[in-house]
Amino acid sequence: MLIDGTAIAAEVRAEVASGVETFRQRRGRVPVLRVVLLGDNPASQSYVRAKKRAAEEVGIDAETLLKPADMSQSAMLALLAELNEAPNVDGILVQLPLPDHIDEGAIIRALDPAKDVDGFHPENVGKLVLGDDTLEPCTPAGIVEMLKRSNVETSGAHAVVVGRSNIVGKPMASLLLRRGLDCTVTVCHSRTRNLAEITRQADILVAAIGRAEFVTADMVREGATVIDVGINRVEDLTRERGYRLVGDVDFEAVREKAAAITPVPGGVGPMTIAMLLANTLTAAQRRTA
């Protein structure tokens, strides 16, 4: 089975659009999202445009605050303080990565946790680990939605997460451990010994290691569910642009063994943006409750 992230994301966006309209009728305004982008990194600009377009499609007031790459950290902290205090701003997203002269951790800690729609603030991370209700990181939250809406059995399943990043790997493990999902979770990384032996034990395998087609067919158990978080450019001179996008999984080989698998593109990516919209609506609802 192919897990169609584009189709599932469309379901989530439709639900968010309905929620936004209800919010507008009750509060007399729509949820407001502000995205802070430093510099002219083409990939970051592309991501931000996609997020802004998706937000507008569901009725969220989204605006990108484009600032020069050499903006000082003190000036950026002042901007975030202003957004934190703004009564009409519900969600704040700082597009990562930031220029080298900016302390990324300090910027994330400066966000109001109630407006942190990326779910990266330490307070939100702590609540996630404790199992409390909070704004969850968008990619792991999107994967949970994919599993639920694809009727993948999670209770008692052995989930193996390959990757230990703060954005995907660690929060993914915390979510899979939660009541209602109830997985047994193993977290691996590039230095894990006998990695293939461990991944072959997985009922659910989440690949988030950032290496093109790293997970091969011999690393996957027959009948497993495989979630590919990676998005990597590989040279392909047969394509007009000279490259193609692939995930962290050797898709064509692994799909022959997997009971369910996500494609790249069209898998986890659309879900990440859909969950950002859901977080923005949630933040607005909680702030005005």
- Based on the domain organization, do 53 and 97 belong to the same domain? yes
Residue 18, in any domain of the structure: no
- Based on the domain organization, do 43 and 80 belong to the same domain? yes
Query: What pLDDT, in 10s, does the model give residues 162-175?
Result: 999 999 999 999 99
Residue 60, in any domain of the structure: yes
Report CA-CA distances (Å) from 217 to 187, 191, 200: 19, 20, 10
- Is the separation of the CB atoms in 108 and 120 below 8 Å? yes
Residue 279, in any domain of the structure: no
The CATH number assigned to the domain holding 230 equals 3.40.50.720
For the chain, the domain total comes to: 2
Residue 126, in any domain of the structure: no
Q: How far apart are CA 23 and CA 29, in angstroms?
A: 7
Query: What pLDDT, in 10s, does the model give residues 51-77?
Result: 999 999 999 999 999 999 999 999 999
User: pLDDT at residue 102 above 90?
Assistant: yes
Peptide bond connecting 140 to the previous residue in cis, omega within 30 degrees of 0: no
- Based on the domain organization, do 164 and 254 belong to the same domain? yes
Residue 141's nearest CA partner among 280, 285, 2, 286 is 280
Residue 73 known to be catalytic: no
- Based on the domain organization, do 155 and 264 belong to the same domain? yes
Residues of the chain with pLDDT > 90: what percent?
90
User: pLDDT at residue 122 above 90?
Assistant: yes
User: pLDDT at residue 142 above 80?
Assistant: yes
**What number is the average pLDDT over the span 193-197?**
97
Residue 191, in any domain of the structure: yes
- Based on the domain organization, do 67 and 166 belong to the same domain? no
Residue 185, in any domain of the structure: yes
Q: How far apart are CA 147 and CA 29, in angstroms?
A: 33
Residue 95 known to be catalytic: yes
Q: What is the distance of C-alpha 103 from the center of its chain? A: 22
- Is the separation of the CB atoms in 154 and 204 below 8 Å? yes
User: pLDDT at residue 240 above 90?
Assistant: no
Q: Mean pLDDT over all residues of the chain?
A: 95
- Domain interval for residue 221: 138-268
Kindly name the residue from 90, 112, 116, 118 that is annotated as catalytic.
Answer: 118
User: pLDDT at residue 236 above 80?
Assistant: no
DSSP 114: G
- Is the separation of the CB atoms in 287 and 32 below 8 Å? no
- Is the separation of the CB atoms in 37 and 95 below 8 Å? yes
Query: Which segments are annotated as binding site for NADP(+)?
Result: 163-165, 231
pLDDT at 242: 76
pLDDT at 241: 80
User: pLDDT at residue 276 above 80?
Assistant: yes
Residues of the chain with pLDDT > 70: what percent?
100
- Based on the domain organization, do 143 and 252 belong to the same domain? yes
- Is the separation of the CB atoms in 203 and 224 below 8 Å? yes
> 33: which strand partners?
62, 91
- Based on the domain organization, do 96 and 180 belong to the same domain? no
- Based on the domain organization, do 91 and 182 belong to the same domain? no
pLDDT at 243: 77
- Is the separation of the CB atoms in 204 and 227 below 8 Å? yes
Query: Which segments are annotated as binding site?
Result: 163-165, 231
Residue 286, in any domain of the structure: no
At 241, give phi and psi (nearest 5°).
Answer: -85, -5
- Based on the domain organization, do 174 and 218 belong to the same domain? yes
Give the domain-ending residue among 78, 98, 113: 113
Report CA-CA distances (Å) from 83 to 63, 65, 190, 200, 223: 12, 11, 39, 47, 48
- Is the separation of the CB atoms in 282 and 136 below 8 Å? no
Kindly name the residue from 90, 95, 170, 250 that is annotated as catalytic.
Answer: 95
pLDDT at 45: 86
Kindly name the residue from 51, 115, 127, 170 that is annotated as catalytic.
Answer: 51
- Based on the domain organization, do 164 and 107 belong to the same domain? no
Query: What pLDDT, in 10s, does the model give residues 147-159?
Result: 999 999 999 999 9
Residue 161, in any domain of the structure: yes
Q: How far apart are CA 159 and CA 166, in angstroms?
A: 18
- Structure confidence at residue 108 as a pLDDT band (50, 70, 90): very high
User: pLDDT at residue 252 above 90?
Assistant: yes
- Based on the domain organization, do 149 and 218 belong to the same domain? yes
The CATH number assigned to the domain holding 50 equals 3.40.50.10860
- The secondary structure element, H or E, covering residue 160 is strand 158-162
pLDDT at 42: 82
pLDDT at 93: 97
- 3-class DSSP assignment, residue 173: helix
- Based on the domain organization, do 32 and 106 belong to the same domain? yes
Read off the tokens for 180. 């209602």
- Structure confidence at residue 269 as a pLDDT band (50, 70, 90): very high
Give the domain-ending residue among 78, 113, 148: 113
pLDDT at 79: 98
Give the domain-ending residue among 52, 78, 113: 113
Q: What is the pTM of this model?
A: 0.94
